[in-house]
Amino acid sequence: MITEAQLVDIIKEAKNSTKPRKFKQAVEMIVVFKDIDVKKGFALNEVVQLPKTNSPATVCVMATGDMGQKAKQANADAVIGTDELDRFATNKRESRKFINKYDFFLADTQVMPVVGKTLGQLLGPRGKMPTPVPFNAPIESFLQRFRSSIKVRARATLSLSCKIGDVEMEDNDLAVNAHAVLSAVEKKLPNGEKNIKRVMIKTTMGKVIKQAEEVKKKHA
């Protein structure tokens, strides 16, 4: 696998090649696969916890009662109950706006059937179905983990793109995050790192910086 030091080089080049913008640009990693038959249902849908975070992910908790109260005390970005879910069932436009606002959803196992009935058709295709939280589970720990996580998805395609941080983060920290994602992805590939053709880095508005040729040959 490409090393953190090699990742630092392409991250540094990607950041240096982008022009200053009036907003904080993300740093994204693109991974291109090879020797995988996508027609056989190849798909990735993983939650990867990043070692270094600068902008926490937004997390909505779907719960009532004690879990709902604890989620509010733990400063979840939003906490909704069954009444709100029932209202979403009658307004798909508002449902889509709501779903797009949050990176992750957690749900009390007792509320999951209502979630499936009211928002399942919208959450499923977006890869945002809630992670079930058992009764009496420490919701604070769940929130902490998901705030530092990203979703890595690929479906019937030979590439994926994901955010590993932003341009204000240190190059080394971004490389650590990229390496963590690659490690998680490799474990899900049929032949591990042999299925990775190329690793690329870009900023939101910047050009794509490819993995150096000598790196690819060395790890071929």
How confident is the model at residue 212, as a pLDDT? 61
* pLDDT tens, position by position, 87-100: 998 898 999 999 99
pLDDT per residue, tens digit, the chain (220 aa), is 789 999 999 999 999 999 888 899 999 999 999 999 988 888 899 999 999 998 899 999 999 999 999 999 999 999 999 999 999 988 989 999 999 999 999 999 999 999 999 999 999 988 899 999 998 899 999 999 999 999 999 988 999 999 999 999 999 999 999 999 999 999 999 999 999 999 999 999 999 999 764 444 444 4
Tokens of 76: 């979840």
User: What domains lie within the chain, and their CATH numbers?
Assistant: 4-54+150-218 (3.30.190.20), 59-146 (3.40.50.790)
* pLDDT tens, position by position, 145-173: 999 999 999 988 999 999 999 999 999 99
Question: Would you call 204 exposed, middle or buried from its count of C-beta atoms within 10 A (0-12, 13-18, 19+)?
Answer: middle
Asked if 143 and 41 touch (Cβ cutoff 8 Å), the reply is no
How confident is the model at residue 217, as a pLDDT? 46
Q: Is 165 left (phi over 0), alpha (psi -120 to 50) or beta?
A: left
Q: Identity (one letter) of the amino acid at 138?
A: P
How confident is the model at residue 156, as a pLDDT? 86
Q: Residue by residue, what is the 3-state secondary structure of the chain?
A: CCCHHHHHHHHHHHHHCCCCCCCCCEEEEEEEECCCCHHHCCEEEEEEECCCCCCCCCEEEECCHHHHHHHHHCCCCEEECHHHHHHHCCCHHHHHHHHHCCCEEEEECCCHHHHHHHCHHHHCCCCCCCEEECCCCCHHHHHHHHHCEEEEEEECCCEEEEEEEECCCCHHHHHHHHHHHHHHHHHHCCCHHHHEEEEEEEECCCCCEECCHHHHHHCC
Pairwise CA distance, residues 105 & 111, whole Å: 12
